[in-house]
């Protein structure tokens, strides 16, 4: 598939291409161009024109284009799902769920892009100011937005950037993950075919290491919206210069289980939230902090559920866990499990690897201060550690460089209220794990998990600028 620069499907100026392969069985899914810095700059040149066109389009016209794109995404959902599975190794059932949200996300953005309200300012409350002045705020698009996305949700995370950006009247240059460019290109085609101004959207495929600095540091870019690792986000923040930044970064999400919890519910939710997408989710359950009085009951419920997860060919409808994104990644997670075992953790099930496929694992007696708890795992395993009481569990939950999502299982409202107040995470779930997201809700992390919020309404807000206008009349 060719990349998209300003409405034209084209090769790289270097002529270089690379294969996109299935991490499950290695088959070549397609071939894409490897863009150069020159291609990235050409995309930004065209985006300058695109930003001017987009800015003059009335909101209802932008919404019409997005609604047509949403209908196309609905029509093409099965092809998008097959593409997701082929390039990520994600089970087709999960990929269908992800692709099935595409149209709804774009429709939500179409609506939010028409809701750019401002405020009237009570300027006469300012001492010395009379009623002869009127002040108000106006929202306008940022201009050019660079969007950089990771591999793990190649449809969802691309759309959470390009749909609100376009709805709000910006031009976008997207750099999708090198392992998953095809889904991004197919989504971009929906917008092109819906009649978007060609200059308003480019998708450059290739290496983030090579294209990232060019895109991120260019002074014409007003906003960088990045989702990916904390290491890459830190680099972006250091070179971006004076720009708006949204950084959706890594995590090690905790779940607390109290003695009064519904243990069956907690085990069911952890058996999903730790293993969906092979644990390659920023809001995956990584650290389970269980009250020592119910630890044995919880593990007795959890382990058979994890053992029952069907692992295998991602194209089969019954598979619940496919491959990780690469054999290298599966080897890294395998090594982390082995290191935790060597430090005294008990591997109750899983951890065996074949290629990029890793059997889902549960580890108990994990030291909460160990790398297995502290470092982002991004694989199909959970670390179970004991806590003495709610206060100790909250302290352990907060003992992390990250703060993206958290969950607590309890039937006591007082405990739930204390947890929602005291846990330092951008999203806190009561009686579910952090692995839950509605596309409309504000979504983003604290601490090392990032800055800014996504979720369509929040993204539209962050992808627009607020201007204050004062009309000076004369005293009468
Ligand atoms: P990654 O290695 O940081 O890559 C993310 C994107 O950044 C890719 O498109 C990558 O391109 C690009 N990139 C690499 N180096 C760059 C540079 N120097 N400048 C600019 N861009 C650069 O992350 P990943 O492994 O794909 O994704 C996993 C990470 O994403 C995890 O840490 C996960 O927690 C995080 N994540 C966070 C959220 C959230 O909402 N907080 C959601 C999903 C994922 P290449 O692919 O070409 O290297």
Q: Domains, the chain, ranges and CATH?
A: 3-249+449-468 (3.40.605.10), 253-438 (3.40.309.10)
The b/e string for 159-181 (b: 16+ C-beta within 10 A; e otherwise) is bbbbbbbbbbbbbbbbbbbbbbb
Q: Which residues make beta-bridge pairs with 33? A: 17
**Best of 88, 157, 159, 208 to mutate for ligand 1, by most ligand atoms within 8 A of CB?**
208
CA of 31 to the centre of ligand 1 (A): 21
Q: How far apart are CA 114 and CA 59, in angstroms?
A: 5
Write the CB contacts of 376 (distance below 8 Å, at least 6 apart in sequence): 229, 230, 250, 251, 252, 286, 402
Q: Which helix (H) or strand (E) holds 201?
A: strand 201-203
Nearest residue (by CA) to ligand 1, atom 35, is 228
* Runs of H (alpha helix) within 148-294: 156-167, 181-193, 208-217, 230-239, 263-273
Both tokens of 462, joined, read 């962050």
Is 98 in a helix, a strand, or coil?
Answer: helix
**Best of 178, 183, 184, 232 to mutate for ligand 1, by most ligand atoms within 8 A of CB?**
232
Residue 248 annotated in active site: yes
The answer to whether the beta carbons of residues 133 and 473 sit under 8 Å apart is yes
Residue 476: its pLDDT value, please? 86
Angle (nearest 5°) at CA 189 between 443 and 442:
10
- Evaluate: CB of 20 within 6 angstroms of ligand 1: no
The answer to whether the beta carbons of residues 422 and 413 sit under 8 Å apart is no
Q: How far apart are CA 53 and CA 308, in angstroms?
A: 54
- Evaluate: CB of 235 within 6 angstroms of ligand 1: yes
Angle (nearest 5°) at CA 76 between 70 and 77:
85
- Evaluate: CB of 402 within 6 angstroms of ligand 1: no
Q: Where are the beta strands (DSSP E) in 244-356?
A: 244-248, 253-257, 285-291, 346-349, 353-354
- Evaluate: CB of 169 within 6 angstroms of ligand 1: no
Is 171 in a helix, a strand, or coil?
Answer: strand
**Best of 228, 282, 462 to mutate for ligand 1, by most ligand atoms within 8 A of CB?**
228
Q: Hunting for tokens 């990029």 — which residue is that?
A: 356
CA of 36 to the centre of ligand 1 (A): 19
- Evaluate: CB of 328 within 6 angstroms of ligand 1: no
* Runs of H (alpha helix) within 205-262: 208-217, 230-239
Write the CB contacts of 242 (distance below 8 Å, at least 6 apart in sequence): none
Which residue out of 282, 295, 329, 334 is catalytically annotated? 282
Decide the pairing of beta strands 17-21 and 120-121: unpaired
Atom nearest to 454 CA in ligand 1: 40
Write the CB contacts of 461 (distance below 8 Å, at least 6 apart in sequence): none
CA of 238 to the centre of ligand 1 (A): 16
The backbone torsions φ and ψ at residue 462, rounded to the nearest 5 degrees and listed phi first, read: -75, -15
Residue 171: its pLDDT value, please? 98
- Evaluate: CB of 150 within 6 angstroms of ligand 1: yes
The answer to whether the beta carbons of residues 401 and 448 sit under 8 Å apart is yes
Q: What is the pTM of this model?
A: 0.98
Angle (nearest 5°) at CA 171 between 465 and 44:
115
> Which of 157, 68, 136, 122 is closest to 471 using CA atoms?
136
Residue 202: its pLDDT value, please? 98
CA of 44 to the centre of ligand 1 (A): 21
Q: How far apart are CA 102 and CA 53, in angstroms?
A: 25
- Evaluate: CB of 212 within 6 angstroms of ligand 1: yes
Q: Hunting for tokens 């039937």 — which residue is that?
A: 411
Which residue out of 87, 248, 295, 462 is catalytically annotated? 248
- Evaluate: CB of 282 within 6 angstroms of ligand 1: yes
Say which DSSP state 217 is in: H
> Which of 120, 110, 119 is closest to 59 using CA atoms?
110
- Evaluate: CB of 229 within 6 angstroms of ligand 1: yes
CA of 57 to the centre of ligand 1 (A): 32
Q: Which residues make beta-bridge pairs with 464? A: 141
The answer to whether the beta carbons of residues 23 and 49 sit under 8 Å apart is no
Residue ranges for the chain with pLDDT beneath 70: none
CA of 189 to the centre of ligand 1 (A): 23
Atom nearest to 233 CA in ligand 1: 3
Nearest residue (by CA) to ligand 1, atom 20, is 212
Nearest residue (by CA) to ligand 1, atom 37, is 249
Residue 282 annotated in active site: yes
The answer to whether the beta carbons of residues 372 and 366 sit under 8 Å apart is yes
- Evaluate: CB of 329 within 6 angstroms of ligand 1: no
- Evaluate: CB of 156 within 6 angstroms of ligand 1: no
Q: How far apart are CA 46 and CA 55, in angstroms?
A: 14
Q: How far apart are CA 162 and CA 168, in angstroms?
A: 10
CA of 224 to the centre of ligand 1 (A): 13
- Evaluate: CB of 227 within 6 angstroms of ligand 1: yes
Residue 172: its pLDDT value, please? 98
Write the CB contacts of 146 (distance below 8 Å, at least 6 apart in sequence): 172, 173, 174, 175, 215, 216, 218, 221, 223, 224, 225
Both tokens of 290, joined, read 């269980």
């Amino acid at each position: 598939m060719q990349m998209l620069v300003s409405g034209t499907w084209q090769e790289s100026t270097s002529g270089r291409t690379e294969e996109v392969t299935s991490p499950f069985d290695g088959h070549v899914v397609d071939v894409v161009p490897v863009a150069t810095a020159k291609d990235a700059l050409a995309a930004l040149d065209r985006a300058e024109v695109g930003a001017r066109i987009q800015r003059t389009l009335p909101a209802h016209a932008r919404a019409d284009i997005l609604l047509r794109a949403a209908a196309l995404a609905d029509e093409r959902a099965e092809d998008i799902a097959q593409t997701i599975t082929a390039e990520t190794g994600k089970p087709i059932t999960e990929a269908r769920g992800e692709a099935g949200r595409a149209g709804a996300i774009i429709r939500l953005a179409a609506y939010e892009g028409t809701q750019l309200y401002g405020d009237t300012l009570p300027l006469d409350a300012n001492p010395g100011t009379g009623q002869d002045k009127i002040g108000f705020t106006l929202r306008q698009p940022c201009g050019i937005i660079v969007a950089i996305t990771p591999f793990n949700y190649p449809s969802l995370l691309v759309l959470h950037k390009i749909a609100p950006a376009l709805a709000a009247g910006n031009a976008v240059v997207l750099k999708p993950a090198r392992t998953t460019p095809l889904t991004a290109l197919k989504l971009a085609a929906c917008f092109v075919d819906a009649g978007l101004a060609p200059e308003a959207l480019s998708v450059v495929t290739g290496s983030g290491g090579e294209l990232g600095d060019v895109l991120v540091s260019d002074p014409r870019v007003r906003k960088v919206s990045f989702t990916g690792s904390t290491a890459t986000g830190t680099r972006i923040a250091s070179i971006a210069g004076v720009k708006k930044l949204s950084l959706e970064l890594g995590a090690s999400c905790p779940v607390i289980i109290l003695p009064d919890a519904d243990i069956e519910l907690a085990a069911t939710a952890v058996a999903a939230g730790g293993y969906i997408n092979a644990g390659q989710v920023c809001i995956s359950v990584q650290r389970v902090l269980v009250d020592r009085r119910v630890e044995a009951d919880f593990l007795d419920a959890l382990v058979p559920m994890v053992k029952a997860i069907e692992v295998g060919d991602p194209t089969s409808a019954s598979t619940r866990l496919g491959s990780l994104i690469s054999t290298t990644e599966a080897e890294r997670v395998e090594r982390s499990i082995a290191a935790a075992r060597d430090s005294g953790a008990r591997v109750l099930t899983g951890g065996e690897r074949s290629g990029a496929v890793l059997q889902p694992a549960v580890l108990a007696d994990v030291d909460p201060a160990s790398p297995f708890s502290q470092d982002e795992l991004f694989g199909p395993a959970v670390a179970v550690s004991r806590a003495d009481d709610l206060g100790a569990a909250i302290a352990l939950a907060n003992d992390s460089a990250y703060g993206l999502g958290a969950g607590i299982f309890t039937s006591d409202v007082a405990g739930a209220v204390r947890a929602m107040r005291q846990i330092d995470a951008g999203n806190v779930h009561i009686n579910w794990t952090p692995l839950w997201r509605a596309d409309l809700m504000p979504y983003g992390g604290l601490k090392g998990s990032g800055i800014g919020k996504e979720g369509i309404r929040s993204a539209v807000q962050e992808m627009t600028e607020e201007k204050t206008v004062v009309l000076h009349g004369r005293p009468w």
